[in-house]
Chains A and B, each alone.
Chain A
Amino acid sequence: MKTLTIVLTDGPYISEYAEIAYKLAGAALQQYKVNIFLYLDAVHIPKKGQDPSFFTNVGQLFSGLTEKGVVIRACARCAGARGYLPEEEIIQGSNCRDYFPGIRITSLYELSEMLSKSDRVISLSR
């Protein structure tokens, strides 16, 4: 099976990229193994407890993706800078208590590894 990696750098509501990534990933799952790497402000996307009155809850969308088998990882430096701290203990597949289950904070080297092992890469960034 081929691999698709989606790279995000925007926060959850400043642009439509997170939602677009959700739709792309969902559709691609039929033919691809899908990875999503959260870089820079995108590390905010999987935060639990979002309540965007007028928008779709993007955190919940991404939580749904992990349940379908999408691998979602966040950059450690970017996450740390924004107060999302990785812990040694992995609870429900996540090493960050602020994140939805299955979404983990890893190093930037994971981005490079995802890219090099991918057949297709989509970067949604500005």
Chain B
Amino acid sequence: MKSVFYLLDTAPYGSEKAFGALNAAAVSLSEMDVTLGLYGDGVYLAVAGQDSKKLGLPNLADILFMHTES
């Protein structure tokens, strides 16, 4: 495969799915063209100003923007 498409349709913190999709997309960057599709509740991943400190989880939007095309 030359490229890979990950589709995320769940909100960022309610389950491990967003974290999982984000990590999988991030590791794939070194070998393939990567597209992460945000669909349905998945769009919340891109919302600015997230504060996940009290959840004890990393700020997933920060991870997302760390890897986006500039």
Binding site for B on A (CB under 8 A): 9, 39-40, 77-78, 108-109, 111-113, 115-116, 118-119, 121
A112–B30 CB distance below 8 A? yes
Which residue of chain B has its CB nearest to the CB of A110? Answer: B27
Which residues on the A side are within 8 Å of B4 (C-beta)? Answer: 115, 121
B20–A39 CB distance below 8 A? yes
- Known contacts: A108-B24, A121-B1. The answer to whether A116 contacts B31 by CB under 8 A is yes
- Cβ of B23 < 8 Å from any Cβ of A? yes
Which residues on the A side are within 8 Å of B23 (C-beta)? Answer: 77, 108
Can you report 24 residue pairs joining A to B where beta carbons are below 8 Å apart? A9-B17, A9-B20, A39-B20, A39-B24, A40-B16, A77-B23, A78-B16, A78-B20, A108-B23, A108-B24, A109-B27, A111-B24, A111-B27, A111-B28, A112-B24, A112-B27, A112-B28, A112-B31, A112-B32, A115-B31, A115-B32, A119-B1, A121-B1, A121-B4
CA distance A118 to B4 in the complex (A): 11
Which residues on the B side are within 8 Å of A119 (C-beta)? Answer: 1
CA distance A39 to B19 in the complex (A): 12
A115–B16 CB distance below 8 A? no
Nearest-CB distance from B9 to chain A (Å)? 9
- Counting chain B residues whose Cβ lies within 8 A of the other chain, the interface size class is 10 to 19
Nearest-CB distance from A32 to chain B (Å)? 14
CA distance A29 to B2 in the complex (A): 23
CA distance A121 to B27 in the complex (A): 17
Nearest-CB distance from B25 to chain A (Å)? 10
Which residues on the B side are within 8 Å of A118 (C-beta)? Answer: 1
CA distance A9 to B23 in the complex (A): 14
B1–A115 CB distance below 8 A? yes
CA distance A40 to B4 in the complex (A): 18
- Other than the known A108-B23, A113-B31, A119-B1, what 11 A-B pairs have Cβ atoms closer than 8 Å? A9-B17, A39-B24, A40-B20, A111-B28, A112-B32, A115-B1, A116-B2, A116-B31, A118-B1, A121-B1, A121-B4
